[in-house]
Structure 1
Amino acid sequence: MVETVQQHPSGGYILDELFVGMTAEKVVDVTEDRIARFAEASDDFNPVHMDEAFASKTAYRGRIAHGLLSASFGSAVVGTILPGAGSIYISQTLAFHKPVRIGDAVVARISVASIDPESARVALRCDGYVDGELIMEGEAVVRVPRRRRPARG
């Protein structure tokens, strides 16, 4: 069963609240400014991302966004919605299928694929779409809190 969820009121789901099929999405617009800020943060100034004249002569026939910029939108879902606050990345696999360009809206969709209660690790299906077409896919493994911390008083 697939059930789309929103952010938990506490900011994050704990292990016992997760179930296979639980899904969350975030839509992020890819802008010139976002690409420039990602280049600055990652120190990746590959001209295929930054220089239209250079990029127009490549197989992509124009600038494309950094693949890891698009992947970071999935990380935002994992860190803020599903599982959310308190989850810690253990691993991530990714396969990129189509380029993302300035003006695209990326839908990052994260779904719970499996749960290991003993290790408190959860496998998450990570997909990205533009205009309904799969642009990237992969799997993340995250550690999820078993319980919430009591509020500080």
Structure 2
Amino acid sequence: MTEPHPSGGYILEELSVGMTAEKLVTVTEERIRRFAEASDDFNPLHMDEAFASKTAYRGRIAHGLLSASFGSAVVGTILPGAGAIYLGQTLNFHKPVRIGDVVSARVTVASIDEAAARVVLRCDAFVEGELIMDGEATVRVPRRRRPSKAP
């Protein structure tokens, strides 16, 4: 597992295909409430147990994008870390996430385009070892600065 870089972020030249980082996050009532407030998504499937209990999910589930945001946290704080800019993201949701679940968000460097300073990251999330979400993120990563030329 890749640890956060001491500077806060990896530069392009420090990355290699296969580097992997992971973050464990517990889904709580408070996280769901705050995400609903931040996103303005108050779908009763996420907020109202009485409503959600009558759906195919038989109870409340977390917002899919809340789970996706845990992968974003890995990208922004561990791999590549500070300075990485999201350019795109694909997501596939496989299973619902519920209050009390511990989500393991994992990011792996899949490819590096040195000319464009872009990196494709494989993004997977698991609950108790079961895949709940996967996809790919494309991010721009800072590169090493070239020394300035002497006058």
**TM-score interval, smaller chain:** over 0.9
1:29 Cα deviation from its structure 2 partner: 0.3
Which residue does the alignment assign to 1:132?
A: 129
Partner secondary structure for residue 41 of structure 2: coil
Does residue 62 of structure 1 match 2:55?
Answer: no
Give RMSD over aligned pairs: 1.0
Percent of paired sites with the same residue = 81
SS of 2:86's equivalent in the other structure is: strand
- 5 Å matches for 1:1-153? 4-147=1-144
Whole-Å Cα distance in 1 between the matches of residues 31 and 50 of structure 2? 20
Question: What TM-score do you get using the length of structure 1 for normalisation?
Answer: 0.94
Which letter does structure 1 place at the counterpart of 2:99? I
TM-score by length of 2: 0.95
Matched residue count: 146
Q: Residue in 2 aligned with 1:151? A: none
* Structure showing greater Rg: 2
Shift of 1:147: 2.0
The superposition leaves residues 34-55 of structure 1 with CA deviations (integer Å, 9 ceiling, x where unpaired) of 0000000000000000000000
State the Cα distance separating 1:144 from its structure 2 match.
Answer: 0.2
CA deviation vs aligned residue, 1:58-97 (integer Å, no higher than 9, x gap): 0000000000000000000000000000000000000000
Distance 1:128 1:6 in 2: 18
* Secondary structure at 1:34 match in 2: helix
Which sections of structure 2, spanning at least 5 residues, go unmatched?
Answer: 146-151
For residues 25 and 16 of structure 1, the distance between their equivalents in structure 2, rounded to whole angstroms, comes to 21
